[in-house]
Structure formats: structure tokens, C-alpha cells
Chains A and B, each alone.
Chain A
């Protein structure tokens, strides 16, 4: 489904984001991308949604090379590969429900249909009682859930989560990971970047470790640290 073939990313100024990264992800997989800050985890996610272009190599999604996509095709790609951002990227002048409906409108859903789907997604993340709250009225953990609900509304094929537990306490972080696993069980491919060793160790999912832009480990049921 997703293939990185010798992907390199050199940022302006000469610093390397990624160097010859090669891996593939099959449909329905759950993958942790781990590594220190600045290792290149977020760059991989940004390459996948076409936010940045690779300097070398190929990124293939369902047989198509993403780096060759036009702006219109990038937009269509982002409706299939949805991302949950580290800073949530919610709109503070919209209610929780309106924030989720935003992604459904883009998919072409209208009125009651969009509202019903948004409520379904919010129910799935446990926010069925917060539809009409504004982002400033809810906690960081709930805000993360809004971001997840917005990403899964409309049923994307791939869900990318960039440090989804980074700003949360361990208990709330655990709940978010459980939620992502539930979404994965429903058939969505999930790729999560994290620093959280405890959660990775507990999950026993595939782990791709990155150091200074290179893949140093790719383990099927891996732990945070190499055994």
C-alpha cells in the first residue's frame, strides 16, 4: 500500500532530513515510527501527505508515485491519508462538531449527512457530550480526540498520527493509543510517531526506528529499545 524506496530529503541549508529510507506498509498495519526529536519521523509523515517533496527516491501509494502528483491529486490523496497533528490544528472559532464537519464537507458530504457522520466519529472518540463546546472549553486530551475524530470522519484508508501522546499525561496518552488501535482494528492503516517507550513496549506492534534520518531498525513486534 505504502512504499518508500531510497527516499532522501535534504532541507534548504544543507541539513539532511532523511537518507535512503526504504520500507513498506501493508493495508491494515499498525506501525510505530520511533526516534529522537529531529530524527526525521515527522518528515516521513509530511512526505506521505505531499506536504514536502523528496529530494531523491520514490514514495508510492497504491501504485502511484506521490512526488509526481499535481496539486489536485495531492488534495485527493489527503482525503485518503489523513493526519493528526502534534499541535492539533483545530479552529478555535468553531465548535467541536463544526471542526469535525470541516473534513466531511471537503469529502462532499452536506447538511444532515455530514452532521450525522461527524457525530458518529465524535462518539467513537468518546466526545458525544461535547458537540457544541469550543476548543478553549475542553482539555488537551479531548482536543487530541477532536483531531482524531476529524481525521477518521469519512473513513480514510490511512491515519497518520504525529506524536499524539506528546502533550498528554500518561493515562490520557494510553487512552489515545487504545483509541488508535481500535481504529486500526476496524481496518484503517495507522502510522504513529512517538517518544513514548512505555506505550510502544506495551503495544508490541511493528516498530521502525529512525536515527539521524536513517532507518536503524524495522521490527515486526518490536519494543522501543532494541533487544
Chain B
């Protein structure tokens, strides 16, 4: 009953409804994009954490025997959990797997130009510095990649992105609330006569309020659904670019559970924001 009245309110003033829905949709779109970005960064972080914490790349002067000796030396410190030796041929196989869709890249690379490497996992992150120092002093070691630095930097970026996202969403949510408050207030003003008649016929305040509250809720639900669709479209179109940018990191893809969770969260948030916006207008004008 109240839902039908709310729907009639929306139908009779489509432009105001569009203004409210689009402003709210923008808020939810930004929130959804930042949420998905956070999930993405979390995946990347997990991937990094699964990888060995130090990778040493060797120049061609280092023979397999030299590397085996170095491996034993490292294990001798008692701080190494495990090591994995990646020969030039292994490196080529990994490269070929990563670039199997790009024949041009495959043609240009042979095992000779790829370095052999040793992936070392420490028993405890505090031993990483000592292990890195041993590797850096070793002749024939061309490069030492210290994964902990990368992870720390990623965490710092995540924090910054999270703060920016939160501030942006808060500002947009406030704007949405104000637009909704204005739209509902205008509708209350336009329906003064109807409200007066309803009161004279014995309608309680809540009987009059419910359709306005639901109207705000409907705006929120429509806006959230639109934003949900738009954010997945955006991710869908940008996924190939992201994948090529982050070669080597395994994306499990967007699970149906994640998609539905986001939809549920956005719709619930949208409904709540809509109802709160309408409630403020009702408190102020009714």
C-alpha cells in the first residue's frame, strides 16, 4: 500500500527522481570501485606473501655448482626455511607460460638472456636482512629482490587509497543526502494539500511519512543496483589491462559470492541512505 503510493510519487516526478538516483548512483559507484580495488590489492598482497621473500638473480659467470654451494651456505645459517632454484630453462618456461598469447614476445626471448635465480624463504621475516646481506656480498649475484619492501610499499599504498576512497565516499554520501533531502522536501511542499486532506481524514503522521521514507529507499536501491552494474562493467573492461600490467600475479577472478556480497551491501547501504535522507526531510518539513 505505502509502497504503491511511494512508487506513484516517483512516477509523477521523474526528473527529480532521476536527479536523486544519479547522485546516489555516483556515490555507490565510487564506493564499489574502491571496494573492488581494495579486494584486488589484497589479492596482489596475498600473492606476494606466498612468494619467496628474497629472490637472488645470478649473472652467467655463476655456475650451477656455485649456486648449489651458496644454497648450502645459506641453509647453514639455520634461518632458511626452503629454497627453490630456477634455472635459465625454468625461467624460460615461466616466461613462455606468462606470455603464451603473445607470439612476438616468445620469439624474441631464449633461455640465454634470462637469468637463473634462487628463491629463498626465511623461517622468520627478521632473518631476511641477514640473508640479503650474504647474497649481496656474493660475487655473481646481479640483483636481490627483497619482497618485504614491495609488500610494505603496497600496504602503504593501500592505506592511502583506502583513506582517499573513504573521504570521497563520505563527501559524495553527504551530497547525496542533501540532494535527496531537497527532492523529498520539494515533494512534501508540492503535496501540502494532499497531506492536509489525509490528516483531516484521520491519517496518522506515520501513515503520511511511510511513502516518503520508502521513496527515498527506492531511490537508494535503484541507485545501488545501477552502481553495482556500472562498477562491474568498469572492472570487466579494465581487467585485460590490469592483467597485462600485473603479469605473473594470479587473479582468481570475480567470484559469484563476491559479486552478490557487493550487490547485497550496496542495496542495503542504498536503502539505508535513502531512508535517512527522507527522514531528515520529514523531520524538517512534516
Binding site for B on A (CB under 8 A): 49, 51, 71-72, 75-79, 82-83, 85, 89, 91, 93, 102-103, 105-107, 110, 150
Contacts and interface: CB of A to CB of B under 8 A. Distances in A.
Contacts of B203: 75, 106
B204 A72 contact: yes
Interface residues of B, number: 15
Contact of B201 (A71, A93, A103, A110): A103
B200 A91 contact: no
B201 A78 contact: yes
B200 A89 contact: yes
A102 B1 CA distance: 11
A77 B207 CA distance: 15
Given A83-B200, A89-B196, A106-B202, 5 more contacts: A76-B202, A78-B200, A91-B193, A93-B12, A102-B201
20 contacts: A71-B205, A72-B204, A75-B199, A75-B207, A76-B202, A76-B204, A78-B199, A78-B200, A78-B201, A79-B201, A82-B201, A83-B200, A89-B193, A89-B197, A91-B194, A91-B197, A102-B198, A102-B201, A106-B207, A150-B201
A75 B194 contact: no
A79 B198 CA distance: 11
Nearest to A79: B202
Nearest to A91: B194
A51 B202 CA distance: 11
A150 B198 CA distance: 11
B197 A75 contact: no
Nearest to A75: B204
Contacts of A85: 200
A105 B1 contact: yes
Most chain A beta-carbon neighbours within 10 Å: one of B196, B198, B200: B200
Nearest to A72: B204
Contacts of A110: 1
Contacts of B205: 71-72, 75
B197 A78 contact: no
Contacts of A105: 1
A83 B201 CA distance: 8
Given A71-B205, A110-B1, A102 B197 contact: yes
- Which 7 A-B pairs rank lowest in CB-CB distance, beginning with the nearest? A78-B202, A79-B202, A75-B204, A103-B201, A106-B203, A89-B197, A75-B202
